[in-house]
Chains A and B, each alone.
Chain A
Amino acid sequence: MGILLFISVLLVAACGLIYELVAGTLASYLVGDSVFQFSTIIGTYLFAMGIGSALSRYLNRGLVYRFVWIELLLGVIGGFSSALLMMAFAFTQGFELILYALVIIMGVLVGLEIPLLMRIVRDRYEFRDVIAHVLTFDYLGALGASLLFPILLVPRLGLVRSAMLFGLVNAGVALWTTYLFSTQLSGTRVLRIACVVVICGLGIGMADARRITATAEDNIYADDIIFARDTRYQHLVLTRFKDDLRLFLNSHLQFSSRDEYRYHETLIHPGLAAVPVPHRVLVLGGGDGLAVREILKYPQIESITLVDLDPEMTKLFSTHPMLTKLNDKSFLSPRVHIINADAFPWVDSNTDNFDFIVIDFPDPTNYSLGKLYTTAFYRAAARHLSLQGLMVVQSTSPMFARDSFWCIAQTLKQAGLQTYPYHVYVPSFGEWGFVLAGTHEYTPPTSLPSGLRFINVEGLPALFQFPPDMAPLPMPPNQLNSQVLVRTYENDWKDISH
Chain B
Amino acid sequence: MKVGRRKFLRSGSAALVGLSLKSDRPITGSFVNDSFQMGHLLRDRASFPPAKRVEKFPVAIVGGGIAGLSAAWRLRKRGFNDFVLLEMNPQAGGNARWGENEITAYPWAAHYVPVPGPKAEFARELFEDLDVLKNGQWEQRDLCFAPQERLFLYGRWQEGIEPAIGLTQKDRDQFQHLEDLFAKFRAGGEFTIPLELGRSAKFQDLDRLSFSDWLQQQGCDSRLVNWYMNYACRDDYGALAKDTSAWAGIHYFSSREAEERGPLTWPEGNGWITRRLLERVGENVRTNQMVHRIAETKRGVSVFSGDKEFQSEFVIFAAPTFLAPYLVDGFPHLHDFVYSPWLTANLTLERLPDSRGAEPTWDTVFLDSPTLGYVDATHQSLRTHIDRTVWTFYWALADGTPAQNRQLLLDKDWNYWKEAILHDLERVHFDIRRCVSRIDLMRMGHAMIRPTVGSVFSEERLRLTRRAPRTDSRLLFANSDLSSISIFEEAQYHGVLAAQSIFERLHAHR
Q: A396 at the A/B interface (Cβ < 8 Å)?
A: no
Query: Which segment, of B200-208, B246-254, B380-388, faces chain A?
Result: B380-388
Q: A479 at the A/B interface (Cβ < 8 Å)?
A: yes
Asked whether B1 lies within 8 Å of A309 as measured between CB atoms, the reply is no
Smallest CB separation, B183 vs chain A (Å) = 23
Asked whether A152 lies within 8 Å of B19 as measured between CB atoms, the reply is yes
Asked whether A366 lies within 8 Å of B382 as measured between CB atoms, the reply is no
Asked whether B384 lies within 8 Å of A343 as measured between CB atoms, the reply is yes
Residues 201-242 of chain A, each 1 if its beta carbon lies under 8 Å from chain B, else 0: 000000000000000000000000000000011000000000
Query: Which segment, of B53-61, B137-145, B462-470, faces chain A?
Result: B137-145
Smallest CB separation, A379 vs chain B (Å) = 9
Within 8 A of A (CB), among B140-179: 140-141, 143-147
Smallest CB separation, A383 vs chain B (Å) = 14
Q: A339 at the A/B interface (Cβ < 8 Å)?
A: no
Q: A474 at the A/B interface (Cβ < 8 Å)?
A: no
Q: A348 at the A/B interface (Cβ < 8 Å)?
A: yes
Asked whether B261 lies within 8 Å of A309 as measured between CB atoms, the reply is no
Asked whether B1 lies within 8 Å of A129 as measured between CB atoms, the reply is yes
Given A344-B382, A344-B383, A344-B384: A480 and B143 within 8 A (CB)? Answer: yes
Q: A133 at the A/B interface (Cβ < 8 Å)?
A: yes
Q: A483 at the A/B interface (Cβ < 8 Å)?
A: yes
Asked whether A371 lies within 8 Å of B384 as measured between CB atoms, the reply is yes
Smallest CB separation, B7 vs chain A (Å) = 8
Q: B2 at the A/B interface (Cβ < 8 Å)?
A: yes
Contacts of A368 in B (CB 8 A): 383-386
Residue of A nearest to B141 (CB): A376
| Docked complex Cα distance between A479 and B137 (Å) | 13
Asked whether A480 lies within 8 Å of B145 as measured between CB atoms, the reply is yes
Contacts of B5 in A (CB 8 A): 136
Q: B508 at the A/B interface (Cβ < 8 Å)?
A: no
| Docked complex Cα distance between A481 and B383 (Å) | 15
Residues 334-378 of chain A, each 1 if its beta carbon lies under 8 Å from chain B, else 0: 000000001111001000000000000000001111011011100
Q: A97 at the A/B interface (Cβ < 8 Å)?
A: no
Asked whether B8 lies within 8 Å of A7 as measured between CB atoms, the reply is yes
Contacts of B143 in A (CB 8 A): 480-481
Asked whether A367 lies within 8 Å of B19 as measured between CB atoms, the reply is no
Main secondary structure of the interface of B (DSSP, over half): loop
Residues 1-15 of chain B, each 1 if its beta carbon lies under 8 Å from chain A, else 0: 111110010001000
Contacts of A148 in B (CB 8 A): 16, 19
Query: Could you say which of A6, A232, A348, A482 contacts B146, with CB atoms under 8 Å apart?
Result: A482
Q: B359 at the A/B interface (Cβ < 8 Å)?
A: yes
Given A374-B140, A481-B261: A125 and B1 within 8 A (CB)? Answer: yes
Asked whether B146 lies within 8 Å of A481 as measured between CB atoms, the reply is yes
Asked whether A348 lies within 8 Å of B382 as measured between CB atoms, the reply is yes
Count of inter-chain pairs, beta carbons less than 8 A? 74
Q: A158 at the A/B interface (Cβ < 8 Å)?
A: no
Smallest CB separation, A250 vs chain B (Å) = 12
Given A152-B19, A481-B145: A133 and B3 within 8 A (CB)? Answer: yes
Contacts of B8 in A (CB 8 A): 3, 6-7
Q: B20 at the A/B interface (Cβ < 8 Å)?
A: yes
Query: Could you say which of A133, A232, A233, A481 contacts B144, with CB atoms under 8 Å apart?
Result: A481
Asked whether B20 lies within 8 Å of A152 as measured between CB atoms, the reply is yes
| Docked complex Cα distance between A393 and B5 (Å) | 67
Smallest CB separation, A374 vs chain B (Å) = 7
| Docked complex Cα distance between A233 and B384 (Å) | 10
Contacts of B386 in A (CB 8 A): 368
Residue of A nearest to B143 (CB): A481
Residue of A nearest to B145 (CB): A480
Q: A321 at the A/B interface (Cβ < 8 Å)?
A: no
Smallest CB separation, B178 vs chain A (Å) = 26
Smallest CB separation, A1 vs chain B (Å) = 10
Query: Could you say which of A3, A133, A376 contacts B140, with CB atoms under 8 Å apart?
Result: A376
Asked whether B141 lies within 8 Å of A342 as measured between CB atoms, the reply is no
Residue of B nearest to A481 (CB): B143
> Which of B1, B12, B359, B387 is most buried by chain A, counting CB atoms within 10 A of its CB?
B1
Contacts of B383 in A (CB 8 A): 342, 344-345, 368
Residue of A nearest to B8 (CB): A3
Residue of B nearest to A5 (CB): B3
Residue of A nearest to B430 (CB): A151
Smallest CB separation, B388 vs chain A (Å) = 12
Residues 371-391 of chain B, each 1 if its beta carbon lies under 8 Å from chain A, else 0: 000000000001111110000
Contacts of B262 in A (CB 8 A): 481
Given A125-B1, A367-B359: A232 and B387 within 8 A (CB)? Answer: yes
Query: Could you say which of B2, B12, B20, B144 contacts A2, with CB atoms under 8 Å apart?
Result: B2
In the complex, besides A125-B1, A371-B384, 6 extra interface pairs with C-beta distance below 8 angstroms are: A232-B385, A348-B382, A372-B384, A374-B140, A480-B140, A481-B146
Pairs across A and B, CB under 8 Å, 29 listed:
A2-B1, A2-B2, A2-B3, A6-B3, A6-B8, A125-B1, A129-B1, A144-B16, A152-B19, A232-B385, A232-B387, A343-B384, A344-B382, A367-B145, A367-B146, A367-B147, A367-B359, A368-B383, A368-B384, A368-B385, A368-B386, A369-B384, A371-B145, A375-B140, A480-B143, A481-B146, A482-B146, A482-B261, A483-B147
B residues in contact (CB < 8 Å) with A = 1-5, 8, 12, 16, 19-20, 140-141, 143-147, 261-262, 359-360, 382-387
Give 3 nearest A-B pairs by CB, closest first.
Answer: A344-B382, A483-B146, A481-B143
